[in-house]
Amino acid sequence: MITGGNQGIGLQTALLLASRGCYDITIACRNQRRAETALKQLKERAEQSNNFKSKFSWLSLDLSSLRNVEILMERIKKEKIIFDIIILNAGVLLPKEKSTNDGFEPTFQVNFLGHFLLIDGIVKHQCPNHSLRVITLTSVIQRLVGNIFPLEKNVEKWPEMFQNAKRWKAYALSKFATAMLAHHLNNFYGDSVKAFAVHPGAVRTQMSDNVCHKGTRKMLFFLRRLLIEPVSKQK
């Protein structure tokens, strides 16, 4: 399963896997129309690669709604869906919303909290009977946490720290949290779960295209030629 697998790096990763013919692929995202378009592309790529074994499907997932994540988990349990690999790819950068309906800072909830709730439920659902590999997409910007962006030494104050973060600090903290998630999974679930935190590089995706902050949007417009195309980076 690839969260946000309907576009950008997520879609290109799915297309590469479809061409290899090794996996059934599930795209988890909130936009059904884009998901259906992506599924069509996956089927076409698979057929071009003589892959007639893989199956492709879509699961509705809106990480900005914790209730939506819980509903998805209820479906996964009810249908006894098992995953071999999960790629936590979905994310936002400088969203226009100030808060989610759950009361959390949007960057933190979409990039980390929603993913944490999802993966925690899946691990409890299928492990240790079925092993799981988890790939979290982080960013090199998380290295700024503790340097340019202060990090609270008291862990009990972390919820407040994440909640009050804005703009690039919020993004850096969310990517720091995704890296910590991989560390947590490796330490607490034994051999049944293996997790990897990956920095994909500076990639031109819809996430950077949809930045709402005017100044940052102008900066990214001029930097677009320096960004890597997702079709190149997915390999």
Q: Is 133 helix (H, G, I), strand (E, B) or coil?
A: strand
Confidence of residue 108 (pLDDT cuts 50, 70, 90): very high
Q: Which of 57-66, 116-125, 157-166, 185-194 has the lowest mean pLDDT?
A: 157-166
Catalytic residue numbers read: 171
Indicate the DSSP class of residue 145: B
Looking at residue 231, its pLDDT comes to 52
Q: What is the mean pLDDT of residues 47-71?
A: 96
Q: Which amino acid is at 157?
A: K
Quote the CATH superfamily of domain 2-233. NAD(P)-binding Rossmann-like Domain (3.40.50.720)
- In the chain, what is the straight-line distance between the N-terminal and C-terminal CA atoms, in Å? 17
Q: Copy the structure tokens of residue 206.
A: 């819809």
Backbone angles phi, psi at 204, to 5 degrees: -80, 105
> Could you tell me which residue, 216 or 194, shows the higher pLDDT?
194
Peptide linkage before 95 cis (omega within 30 of 0): no
Q: Which neighbouring-strand residues pair with 87?
A: 2, 135
Percentage of residues in the chain having pLDDT higher than 90: 61
Q: How far apart are CA 210 and CA 44, in angstroms?
A: 28
Q: How far apart are CA 149 and CA 107, in angstroms?
A: 16
> Could you tell me which residue, 4 or 218, shows the higher pLDDT?
4
Q: Is 65 helix (H, G, I), strand (E, B) or coil?
A: coil
Query: pLDDT tens-digit profile of 154-210?
Result: 878 878 888 888 888 888 898 989 999 999 999 999 899 999 999 886 555 555 455
Asked if 230 and 204 count as a contact pair (C-beta separation under 8 A), the reply is yes
Residue ranges covered by each domain of the chain = 2-233
Query: pLDDT tens-digit profile of 70-105?
Result: 999 999 999 999 999 999 999 998 888 889 999 999
Confidence of residue 29 (pLDDT cuts 50, 70, 90): very high
Which of 140-149, 171-180, 220-229 tops mean pLDDT?
171-180
- CA distances to 51, 52, 69, 233 from 23, rounded to whole Å, are 10, 11, 24, 20
Q: What is the mean pLDDT of residues 204-220?
A: 50
190-202 burial string, b = 16+ CB within 10 Å, else e? eeebbbebbebee
Looking at residue 202, its pLDDT comes to 55
pLDDT at 64 over 90: yes
Measure the CA dihedral 63/68/73/74, to 10°.
180
pLDDT at 5 over 80: yes
**Average pLDDT of the chain to the nearest whole number:** 86
Query: pLDDT tens-digit profile of 37-53?
Result: 999 999 999 999 999 89
